[in-house]
Amino acid sequence: MSTENLTNQEAIEKLRKMVDKIDIGMLCSFKKDEKRPHAVPMSRQEVDEEGNIWYLFSKASETFENLQKDQQVTLIYSQPKDYEFITINGNAEISRDEARIEKYWNKMMEGWFEKGKEDPNIQVLKIVPSDAYYWDSESNKLVTLMKVAANAITGNNFEVGRDGKLSL
């Protein structure tokens, strides 16, 4: 395992590449005075040029309620078949940005918001990442497992992946 810490634009590009590939991650918000996070699966709408991650979500959700008290979030993305994992820490910003609602609206959203794009519960969630930690492999799961086994058997040090911090 090699370590590759990235900063600035390189960190943003790594984050964008991984989140775009994985798509659905767990969004963890935090209840006031509780140690355990509230985690829900979320499909990202976009990762913009600055590395901000955008979602549409409901004002009627527990996540919305939690974010009213604490804007800190953690996102966890996992793609086990490719051995790609990333955890992102950041802050949430909530708006009712009509242009973004229009931009991100699709058939899937209709299942969540009965009144369509005009549903008053639709909110735009922007996650502004502060830092992240990733682990990935340049090969698939099977090849990675074979390299790990070969390392254990032979004592060699075949490269099995990279990990590192992303400073955004």
Q: What share of the chain is helix, strand, coil (3-state, %, to 5)?
A: 35, 40, 25
- Give the gyration radius of the chain's Cα atoms: 18
Cα–Cα distance measured from residue 8 to residue 116, given in angstroms and rounded to the nearest whole number: 38
Cβ(14)–Cβ(162) under 8 Å? no
Q: Which of these, 113, 119, 124, 131, lies nearest to 51 by C-alpha position?
A: 131
The confidence score (pLDDT) of residue 139 equals 53
CA 11 to each of CA 5, 25, 118, 130, 132: distance values in angstroms, whole numbers, following the listed order: 8, 18, 36, 11, 9
Mean pLDDT for 99-118 is 92
Q: Which of these, 41, 42, 32, 61, lies nearest to 121 by C-alpha position?
A: 61
Q: Which of these, 135, 129, 163, lies nearest to 48 by C-alpha position?
A: 129
Cβ(88)–Cβ(75) under 8 Å? yes
How does DSSP assign 65-104, residue by residue? Answer: HHHHH--EEEEEEEEGGGTEEEEEEEEEEEE--HHHHHHH
Confidence of residue 168 (pLDDT cuts 50, 70, 90): confident
Domain range list for the chain: 2-167
The confidence score (pLDDT) of residue 138 equals 64
pLDDT tens-digit profile of 33-85?
888 999 999 999 999 999 999 999 999 999 999 999 999 999 999 998 888 99
Task: State the pTM of this model.
Answer: 0.85
Confidence of residue 148 (pLDDT cuts 50, 70, 90): very low
CATH 2.30.110.10 fits 2-167, yes or no: yes
Whether 142 has a pLDDT exceeding 60, the answer reads no
pLDDT over 70 percentage in the chain: 85
